Amino acid sequence: MDVPAGLKGVAVADTTIGSVRGGEGFFHYRQYDATELARQRSLEEIWYLLLEERLPTPVELNDFVGGLAEARRLPDGFGGVLDAIAARKPSFAGGLVAAIPLLAPFDPTVDIDAAARRRDAVAVAAAAPTVLAGLHRRMIGLEPVEPDPELSHAANWLLMLSGEVPTPAQERAVETYLAATIDHGFNNSTFTARTITSSGADVGGAMAGAVAALSGPLHGGAPGRVFTMLDEIGDPANTDDWVQRRLDGGEVIMGFGHAVYRADDPRSLLLREAAESFGGPLVERAILIEARILELLRAHKPEATIVTNVEYYASLVLHLAGLTPELFTPTFTVSRVIGWTAHILEQAANNKIIRPAANYVGPAAPAPVPAN
């Protein structure tokens, strides 16, 4: 069977976790509109939904939040591990890839118990922000900050980075971003997590591979570059010249276009609302620049459907919440690790190893060597 390059548009599995309907500009988690969940529910409630296939009762949510608070604290002695990793000055992804297998130690059994796999999946996703924040502070010469069991997952991420409890506005903005980016179809990193899981590998291996996939600039690296673009353009009056120079050079304009959406990216609309809740000249300037870039790109490629993607307003929301551009992709990771847990557990529950074929297009094989 011949398939498009990159498996574009090819359905490779069944899932009940969610779906993206790009032609409609819609995506959902389980049976719920994902953007409405992000507006109305906490990150922890959505996390529970992905794992348990239903929203929690108040008692269930309280128990789940308590378990996350416990899992967010790193094991005794793990600080020394992070000290050793940080001393090598890795990328955020590289540091997390090194640490994850130690958060969910390799299980040598052929058939990993389902309860143990779920425990490890939740533990890794809960501890990932603690690892990332700890590495960040160590690499800039600051002491790590312990998570606070009284704070939400989003608030703890900001606390552990800055050392200060975020404002309610900052917490809610980051929580909205995290909730909107937990899962988004069979993207590159999610597919990687499922492929590794399909071999029977443990949670640590699957999550480490997914983090490595997310580190690529074509997948998880755009929000920081969007903020750089806004800074370079400055005055909206400079937009035409800035964009034309990039188009002439064959460059991609970050924050625009999407592989799936042919209508508005609902995550972008949601995060524009979050940015507008802060207000201020930066947001006003970004809205003007967005409108003009869309006009220019649509004139440049009238046959294409050009939409603003999630990275554009994500950059503003994360900046206004107090994060610097180098922390944008790690924040995306804090969100996406949650979605990977659901996919890892779903793949393992009804597994068949993912083993596609390839078309050989090299030189013809040599003739057999004649027998003496």
Residue-range domains of the chain with CATH? 15-216+330-349 (1.10.580.10), 222-320 (1.10.230.10)
pLDDT digits (tens, 9 = 90+) for 312-321: 999 999 999 9
The residues that are catalytic are 258, 311
Angle of helix 153-162 relative to helix 43-52, nearest 10 degrees, comes to 120
Higher per-residue confidence, 49 vs 366: 49
pLDDT digits (tens, 9 = 90+) for 210-234: 999 998 877 765 567 888 899 999 9
Judge whether residue 179 has pLDDT over 80. yes
Judge whether residue 349 has pLDDT over 90. yes
Q: What pTM was estimated for this model as a whole?
A: 0.92
